[in-house]
Structure 1
Amino acid sequence: MDPDTMRGDGGDVYWRRRMSVLVAVLVVVAVVAWACSSGGSGPERTSSAQSTPSVTPAADPLLAGLRTLAMGTTSPSPTPSVPKTSPVARPKRPGEPCAESELVLSLQGGKEQIYAAGTKPSFLVTLVNTGPVMCTADVGPRAMEIRITSGADRIWSTADCVSGPGTEVQQLQRGVPYVRSLDWDRRRSSTDCRTTPAAALPGTYVASVRMGKLRSTKGVFHLR
């Protein structure tokens, strides 16, 4: 073709046609490439995105601790508890005062007995040490009181009108009872130590022994 014929309007038309064909080829290639890439993975990605829930990443414990320290809200470390230890009891030495928990106090006699006029009621008091070793106890009339009552009326007591110190310390061997006998003269006693005490009237009476917090069983008897 003559180069002169390509000049002017004819040349412009020729190059426009060439550019249109090139653009059409590029568009076709792009469409084919898009179809290939989206056909296998597009739906799966959509399904995966719809079925898989979003997971919130777990907080880093180290960062959380640093953030708490920065805010000044850290809780104090718990103080370790120290186990309590019971003190070891010292072995009891012979001759030390008896513990009340190691003593057994009892009263014999007077239970439902009837004493005729002029007959003195008699009683027997025993004190036994059940501890591991010999111990001492005050069995004087004030410390170990024998009391006779009638209802709410206090009739007679060994603690009334005691002369001297009124103490009597005894050594109590383990299992060996201390024994005291008592005959009541059927007269009342009082703390004012009257010289002529009144005689007790016929009726029902109760005898008992007390020593600190210890109490014996009660003996009920009757006077005629």
Structure 2
Amino acid sequence: MVALVGVLMVVAAVAWACSASGQDDPRADDTATGSPTPDPILALLPAVTVTPTPSALHSPGASPSPKAAAVKAKPKTRARRPGQTCDPSDLVLDIRGQGEIYTRGNQPRFIVTLVNTSDVMCTTDVGARALEVRITSGDDRIWSSADCVSGEAKEIRRLDRGIPYVRQIEWNRHRSGDDCSARHSAAKAGTYVAVVRTPDLKSHKAIFHLR
């Protein structure tokens, strides 16, 4: 009996030793799997989301979106045909006085030019009402070449590229107005401004003086 009890005690001791060696150490698991315990300080930091840059979204090899293609597309300019009405953006209007000071008895004279800068010939109205020379003194309207126009007021001219239309204007030093039958007074000595204008264009100012 004593011998049997001794044998059972030896078997129980061996079984306990084997079960104790088979238990896993939690720290050993962390080390073996390579997943350390999370740092509590790192857990407090906010998560950061990285947004791809526009260059990354539109790489050289990527096809542009339909919206981007629509923005880049430019409407084709319709070619102009010779003889069409001139576009005001293609015309250059100018006026030059033949003097700066006009003494008594001398009438101011001006040269008006209109130049077509487009690639093709075009047409425009250069009649007395369409191409007006106006003289002012301050806010006072003194004279206009469009006042009291008789005969055919419309005059259509062909303008070739770079070849100016030229007109000479002479002012009689008197006022003008809507009443063509009235006798208008002579302009006084002083400083005056002459400009030439169309419905869409206006030249620079030509300043002169009457003595």
Which category of TM-score, normalised to the shorter sequence, fits these structures?
Answer: 0.7 to 0.9
Counting helix residues as a fraction of each chain, which structure ranks higher?
1
User: Which of the residues 3, 17, 26 maps onto 1:46?
Assistant: 26
1:59-109 per-position Cα deviation (integer Å, ceiling 9, x unaligned)? xxxxxxxxxxxxxxxxxxxx9536223221121100001111111111111
Match of 2:97 among 109, 131, 136: 109
Code of the aligned partner of 2:15: A
Amino acid at match of 1:88: K
Paired residue for 2:77, among 77, 89, 101?
89
- 1:189 matches 2:189: no
What's the % identity of the aligned pairs?
Answer: 51
Does 2:195 match 1:208? Answer: yes
User: Which residue among 21, 25, 49 is the counterpart of 2:4?
Assistant: 21
TM-score by length of structure 1 reads 0.71
Equivalent position SS for 2:111: strand
- 1:167 counterpart SS class: coil
Distance in 2 (CA, whole Å) between partners of 1:88 and 1:108 is: 38
Paired AA for residue 104 in structure 1: V
Letter of the structure 1 residue corresponding to residue 4 of structure 2: V
How many pairs were matched up?
Answer: 180
Mapped pair 1:33 → 2:15:
yes
Decide which structure has the larger Cα Rg and report it: 1
Distance 1:195 1:45 in 2: 122
Question: Which residue pairs with 1:75 in the alignment?
Answer: none
Offset at residue 158 of structure 1 (A): 1.6
Q: C-alpha separation between the residues in 2 aligned to 1:26 and 1:160?
A: 140
Q: Quick one: distance in 2 between partners of 1:208 and 1:45?
A: 102
SS of the aligned residue for 1:176 comes to coil
- The Cα offsets for residues 92-151 of structure 1, whole Å up to 9 and x where unpaired, read as 10000111111111111156x111112110000001111101000111122111110000
Residue segments in structure 2 that go unaligned for 5+ positions in a row: 39-64
| Whole-angstrom CA distance in 1 between matches of 2:14 and 2:181 | 138
The runs of 5 or more residues in structure 1 that have no matched partner are 1-16, 56-78
The aligned residue for residue 57 of structure 2 is none
> Is the aligned partner of 1:123 residue 2:110?
yes
Q: Is contact 1:110–1:219 with CA below 8 Å preserved after alignment? A: no
Which piece of structure 1 moves more, 92-101 or 81-90? 81-90
One-letter amino acid matched to 1:21: L
Query: 2:141 aligned to 154, 158, 166, which one?
Result: 154
